[in-house]
Amino acid sequence: MAWYWWFLAALALAGAELFHTQLVLLMLAAGALAGGLTSLTGAHFLVQVVVASLVSVLMIVTVRPVAYRHLKGAALGLRTGVDVVKGARGVVLAAVSDHDGRVKVNGEIWSARSYDPFDTIDVGVDVTVVEIDGATAIVLPAELP
């Protein structure tokens, strides 16, 4: 019957993690789950506690740092995909108008349009990417530093 209490503890810890969000309680829930599985094998209660403790510590030391980094990465403002290009500097390869053009940004060649529909940006001019529209960079001439 000890497995029941281990699984109940695992469920309670996992539920409490929803309010804590530091992933510590979730790692302890994994330990409690391991203790419950050990209980199902008929192991002595002391063995169950040792297994639960070892699994909890191993989860906190090995899994939590990686999982926490991934969980908090977006909240820390890490940019991925096209968001990396927004705000980046580039250079015009083919004159950019409100209809067409080419720019090189972060080593990649993008189709581009001018942010100002009445402005044409000549070849060789430094630009800043204002936004991305599909696969087209919307650019402005870069400000001088």
Spatial distance between the Cα atoms of 52 and 2, rounded to a whole number of angstroms: 13
Inform me whether the pLDDT recorded for 104 exceeds 90.
yes
Spatial distance between the Cα atoms of 123 and 9, rounded to a whole number of angstroms: 66
- Percent of the chain whose predicted confidence (pLDDT) is above 70: 93
The CA–CA distances, whole Å, from 76 to 18, 70, 71, 79 equal: 19, 10, 10, 9
Spatial distance between the Cα atoms of 25 and 115, rounded to a whole number of angstroms: 49
Q: What is the mean pLDDT of residues 116-133?
A: 92
Burial (CB < 10 A; 0-12, 13-18, 19+), residue 101, is buried
What token pair was written down for 56? 């909890």
Q: What is the mean pLDDT of residues 99-107?
A: 93
Each residue's pLDDT tens digit, 4-33: 999 999 999 999 998 987 889 999 999 999
* Report field, pTM of the whole predicted structure over 0.75: no
Domains and CATH numbers, the chain: 2-73 (no CATH), 82-141 (2.40.50.140)
Q: What is the mean pLDDT of residues 44-62?
A: 96
Instruction: Tell the residue number behind the tokens 């309680």, with chain if given.
Output: 25
> Using 50, 70 and 90 to split pLDDT, how confident is the model at 73?
low
What token pair was written down for 2? 């000890």
